[in-house]
Amino acid sequence: MKLTPQQIVERMWGEDAFSQELGMEILDLGAGFCSVRLRVQASMVNGFKIAHGGITYSLSDSAMAFAANAHGKVAMSIETAISHVKKAVLGDVLTAHCKELSRGKIVGRFEVEVKNQEEQVVALFKGTVFYTEESWG
Q: Which residues bind a second copy (CB under 8 A)?
A: 11-19, 21-22, 42-49, 51-55, 57-58, 61-62, 65, 74, 76-86, 101-102, 104, 106-107, 109, 111, 121, 124, 126, 128, 130
> What is the nearest approach in angstroms of a second copy to the Cβ of residue 47?
3
* CA–CA separation, 23 and 120 (whole Å): 21
- Closest separation in Å from C-beta 67 to a second copy: 13
35/40 with CB nearer a second copy = 40
If DSSP states are collapsed to H, E and C, what string results for 36-96? EEEECCHHHECCCCEECHHHHHHHHHHHHHHHHHCCCEEEEEEEEEEEECCCCECCCEEEE
DSSP-derived letter for residue 119 is S
Residue type, 11: R
At closest approach, how far in Å is the CB of 54 from a second copy? 3
Least Å distance, CB 135 to a second copy, is 14
Nearer to a second copy, 15 or 118 (CB): 15
Q: Which is nearer to a second copy, 45 or 93 (CB)?
A: 45
Return the DSSP state at 117.
T
